[in-house]
Amino acid sequence: MDVTTEVTPSEAGTILTVDLSAIVANWQTLRLICGEAECGAVVKADAYGLGLKPVVTALYEAGCKTFFVAHAFEGRAARAIAPDAAIYVLNGMRPDTAPLYADFNLAPVLCSVPEIEDWGQYCAVTGRRTAEGGLLPAAFRFETGLNQLGLKPYDLEHGIHLSHLFDIRLIMTQLAHAKHEATITKQIEKFEIMRAKLPNVPASIAHSGAIFLEANPLYDLVRPGYALYGGNPVPGRPNPMKPVVRLEAQVIQVRILEPGERVGEDQGWVARGPRRISTISAGFADGIPQSLTRSGSGGAVISQGKRCPYIGGVGMDLVAVDTSDSGYVERGDIVELIGPSITIDDFAAAAGISGYEVLTGLGQRCHRKYQKL
Domain edges within the chain? 19-229, 245-371
Measured in whole angstroms, the distance separating CA 44 from the mean position of its chain's CA atoms is 7
The predicted structure's pLDDT at residue 366 = 87
With a cut of 50, list the residues of the chain below it in pLDDT: 1-5
Domain at 245-371: CATH code? 2.40.37.10
Q: What is the pLDDT of residues 131-144, one digit of tens each?
A: 999 999 999 999 99
Query: Phi and psi (nearest 5°) for 222?
Result: -110, 155
Best CA proximity match to 90, nearest among 5, 149, 16, 159: 149
In eight-state DSSP terms, residue 1 is: -
CB–CB of 167/119 below 8 Å? no
**How many beta carbons lie within 10 A of that of residue 202, not counting itself?**
16
Query: Would you identify the CATH topology of the domain 19-229?
Result: TIM Barrel (3.20.20)
Coil/strand/helix, residue 6: helix
Element holding 245 (H helix, E strand)? strand 245-257
Say what the pLDDT of residue 6 is.
60
The CA dihedral of 45, 46, 50, 53, to the nearest 10 degrees, is 160
Look up the pTM and report it: 0.93
Q: State the amino acid at position 62 in one-letter form.
A: A
pLDDT for residue 216? 73
How many angstroms from the chain centroid is the CA of residue 226? 5
Q: Which distant-in-sequence residues (6+ apart) come within 8 Å of 294 by Cβ?
A: 352
